[in-house]
Chains A and B, each alone.
Chain A
Amino acid sequence: MRVTILAPEVVGLTPGEYEDICRRLGRDPSPLELHLFGVMWSEHCGYKHSKLALRALPSDGPHLLAGPGENAGVMDIGSGWAVAFKMESHNHPSAIDPYNGAATGVGGIIRDVLSMGARPIALLDSLRFGGFDDPKVRRLASSVVAGIAGYGNCIGVPTVGGEILVEARYRGNPLVNVACLGLVRAEQLARACAAGPGNLVMYAGARTGRDGIGGAAFASEELDERSEREDRSSVQIGDPFTGKLLIEATLEALATGGVVALQDMGAAGLTCATSEMAARGGVGMAITLDLVPLRESGMRADEILRSESQERMLLIVRPHEAERIAAVYRRWGLNAAVIGTITAEPELRITHQGTTVAALPPAVLAEAPAYQPAASEPLRLWDQWTLNALPDEADPAQALLALLASPDIASKRPVYEQYDHSVQVRTVMPPGAADAAVLRVHELAPKGLALTVDGSGRLCALDPRRGARLAVAECAANLACVGAAPLGLTDCLNFGNPDDPEVFWTFRQAVAGIADACRAMGIPVVGGNVSFYNESAGGPVPPTPIIAMVGLVDDVSRAPTMAFRADANIVILVGDPAADLAASSYLEVVHGLTRGRPRDVDFDAHQRVLSLIRESIRRGILRSAHDCSEGGVAVAVAECAIAGGVGAAVVLPGGSRRDTALFGEAPSRVMVSLAEDSAAQFFAMAAEWDVPLTVLGRTGGDRLEISVADGPDRRPILNLMLAELAAAYQSLSEVFA
């Protein structure tokens, strides 16, 4: 007899998926089992719509120790040390409860890195909001920043970098992507692969409560007007103090050698941790829910299994070490309880109050179906737009000030001053100082690590494949500007509803773009996250793949900042100076236009530029280096001048239009400054790498003077006091006051 007490739709599954479950089990699932499928086969946990497409991403490389499928990617950095790196989204929780949503996003990614046995040493965050002229958006943005600060500062992991971009289409669905980097001895790398029948399953950390129940399923739906009222119980509440204790206790527990495997209990909580770890190891688990430390009495089995209470880990431990490991957690004031055992037969058997409430192969739960959704190219992304219809810029000085004051470009100081970015005494290059954060690794001195995060919804909305290629290319350029060579990247792919063929087409294009760039530059994708259903009443968010990249610096003391350092240094634009205004920040900020097709990356030229920059930093030639991206040469030179408090007089190569010369954008261009006596050496190196150089002028004074070459003459275009530029650049002080 077939009795369906619960309709599959109630747990977010389709009738087809229900049939699939019945086929795979050879029977109907019990109501509780159906709940487990609801969370494990949610898009958030199951990657149903994305996992086939993600196969296109290259994920191997000489430094890779653990790749996609693990809790975090791990790369060898030499001398027996490795780094773990991962990024995840916490968009939906942050839309409903910005403080707790962002805070638990930080906590979750920290535990992913901890699950690899690594000590978390740095955080990055990439945020997208609607326009700051809307008070509701300001409140949301301030709360997200406060949430990141509240959690990250207390847990003692420095937030060393990030980005914030603003666009109307993120208004109802902000993006909060957080990346974490951890450091681990390569031989102490931990895994999440359960093994050894007879070994014990240990629960450690905070107690389980009724918060965040079904959070993974909630993350896999579109937001609507009632979400803010009704989905609040799906948002977890973070406790960074307990998170901090969990880090110390878990690293100490791992050092005992008695831990076989571990995983954090994040999305889908105990259900995910048990089924995934058992499935990876091809073993079973017998779990007694009555042994789980609970925060409140009377919790039902499905609530215990699906709770997403924070700061919890699941460990597989050797029986004779169990008491010792539990004692470590108790010493740190945390709960530790053996809740089950590993069994040879691959069955996840869960009992509660003397009754077996679920008994099924863990792999069936852990392996959600894979779909190949329909994809269709939108009719028009970019068009045959040309600049001709637009008059040349009449007031270049005002345009530059407007760009510097625009939220995407303006200084993020009022934000990053709220984050502890110097705890752990590793931060050589704090946020805002250079294109990438630089951490020293005293275990490997003078070596260090560089970190950056980048992505552009505007470029991807116009051409997702190029936009993704550009994001990867820009990350590599950011790293090169501090002298770092890329080790690997992790991505967070934020898109709308994948059942919309146009959304899915842009998703596939973005994945292809990341793959192109990774292959061309030999950078592996070590892990990542997909966030679909980023839609609200205002429609889907722009396609937003975010890339976080980590690189290795040979000698951190040589890393330059972006700041002009002294008077009379030579200012040089490295790379092909050609640029245009299609898809540019200038068009958007000054003319309110998002038009044109972004310029593509020539990876051969790009690699030569980056090699030249890295090598000249290694030889100590550059006084400053800054990737020339949003806002073109004018914004780049202004940023270097503001950062250093040193002015400059530059002459840009001539062209038919001033706006293009000033604000045109193109990849593979870097603004550097160097002392006169190193110029000859730099020119010789550029010739060797076949990289074009354009000498723009010299540093000095307290003004920025820009002219355009006009045959042998020069036409002055703008002349502004540094103080005026700096005032415009600080426009966000008011937003985040």
Chain B
Amino acid sequence: MRLGVVVFPGSNCDRDCVHVLRHVLGRDVVELWHGDPAIEGVDAVVLPGGFAYGDYLRAGAVAATSPIMPAVRAFAASGGPVLGICNGFQVLLEAGMLPGAMLRNHVLKFQCKPVHIRVESTRTPFTHGLREGQVLRMPIAHGEGNYFAPDPLLATIQESEQVAFRYCDAHGRVVSEANPNGSLNNIAGVCSPQGNVLGLMPHPERASEEVLGSTDGRMLFESLVAWLESRRAVVVG
């Protein structure tokens, strides 16, 4: 099993993702350079957080058109698991691989703090090992994380179980006080109709080690690994 982490110029959580996947989960990890038009030999792709290409335009807008993205799109179309974290989520939205868009945080400021999110769907490779309604604690760090989707689209997303996470309080209640950025219906993460592409604003890689205060984020990566292993077992069997 080999996991790929995309490195855009301006990604700044790529090393953190590599660290967690390689040293905490003990997996084989390769960095995927944004300028390479092909990705080969990986079983999952992570688009990390940061400010790809500086994000001087809308966050993720330039990265969505970078040379590697057609390959990421093809990988996803073939059912491969793709995880976009923070800026990676913004890139997936801008690339049209996930529905909706990001606005500036309603407080109009960058926000870095721990939040709680509730698992809304276990149909993605990254959440299938979790429980619906399970509450996870991990940090956010973004200025444009105010999720928006126009009305008919929002209804579709919700009806087709594409909402993967919602911001909630420590008890799992989805309340407006727990919404750090003004996201519509407290949406913190969404997935593709097939479920194999997931984007979320909080940083699971920053909550993957006891010493950093939470290991809840590691469950997403462990879930992915278990999903990939079970699929391989099916293929081999």
Contact = CB atoms under 8 A, between A and B. Distances in A.
B205 interface: yes
B141 A422 contact: yes
Interface in B188-236: 203, 205-206, 208-213
A682 B135 CA distance: 39
Q: DSSP class of A's interface residues: helix, strand, loop or mixed?
A: mixed
A239 B54 contact: yes
Contacts of A239: 54
Nearest to B205: A425
A154 interface: yes
Contacts of A156: 12-13, 50-51
B101 to A, nearest CB: 21
A422 B206 contact: yes
A246 to B, nearest CB: 11
Contacts of B112: 153, 416-422
B16 interface: yes
A623 interface: no
Contact of A425 (B9, B19, B143): B19
A427 interface: yes
Contact of B209 (A149, A155, A245, A425): A425
B12 A423 contact: yes
Which of A146, A156, A416, A423: most chain B CB closer than 10 A? A423
A376 interface: no
B53 interface: yes
B58 interface: no
Interface in A499-554: none
Given A422-B139, A423-B12, A427-B212, A154 B206 contact: no
Contact of A418 (B9, B54, B111): B111
Which of A149, A242, A245, A420: most chain B CB closer than 10 A? A420
A269 interface: no
Interface string B115-142: 0000000000000000000000001010
Given A417-B111, A418-B110, A418-B112, A155 B211 contact: no
B106 to A, nearest CB: 12
Contacts of A242: 54
A4 B206 CA distance: 62
B15 A241 contact: no
Interface in A316-372: 332-333
B10 interface: yes
Interface string B89-114: 00000000000000000000111110
Interface in A225-248: 239-242, 244-245
A141 interface: no
Contacts of A153: 51, 110, 112, 141, 143
A412 interface: no
B32 interface: no
Nearest to B20: A425
A423 B13 contact: yes
Interface in B4-60: 9-10, 12-13, 15-16, 19-20, 23, 49-51, 53-56
A149 B213 CA distance: 23
A14 interface: no
A330 to B, nearest CB: 11
B109 A241 contact: no
Given A149-B110, A154-B55, A424 B141 contact: no
Interface string A199-242: 00000000000000000000000000000000000000001111
A446 B205 CA distance: 19
A92 interface: no
A241 B9 contact: yes
B211 A245 contact: no
Contact of B212 (A244, A419, A425): A425
Contacts of B143: 153
Contacts of A27: none
A556 B141 CA distance: 23
A442 interface: yes
B15 A154 contact: no
A240 B141 contact: no
B10 A244 contact: yes
A557 B211 contact: yes
A420 B110 contact: yes
Which of B12, B15, B20, B210: most chain A CB closer than 10 A? B12
A613 interface: no
Nearest to A244: B10
Contacts of B209: 425
A90 B14 CA distance: 30
A332 B121 CA distance: 39
Contacts of A401: none
B125 to A, nearest CB: 23
**Which 4 residue pairs are nearest across A and B when measured between Cβ atoms?**
A156-B12, A241-B54, A154-B51, A420-B141
Interface of B: 9-10, 12-13, 15-16, 19-20, 23, 49-51, 53-56, 109-113, 139, 141, 143, 203, 205-206, 208-213
5 contacts: A153-B51, A154-B10, A156-B50, A423-B206, A425-B209
Interface of A: 146, 149, 153-156, 239-242, 244-245, 332-333, 416-425, 427-428, 440, 442, 446, 556-557
Given A156-B50, A241-B51, 20 more contacts: A149-B109, A153-B51, A153-B141, A156-B13, A240-B54, A242-B54, A244-B51, A245-B9, A416-B112, A417-B112, A418-B111, A419-B112, A420-B112, A421-B112, A422-B112, A422-B203, A423-B13, A425-B205, A442-B23, A446-B211
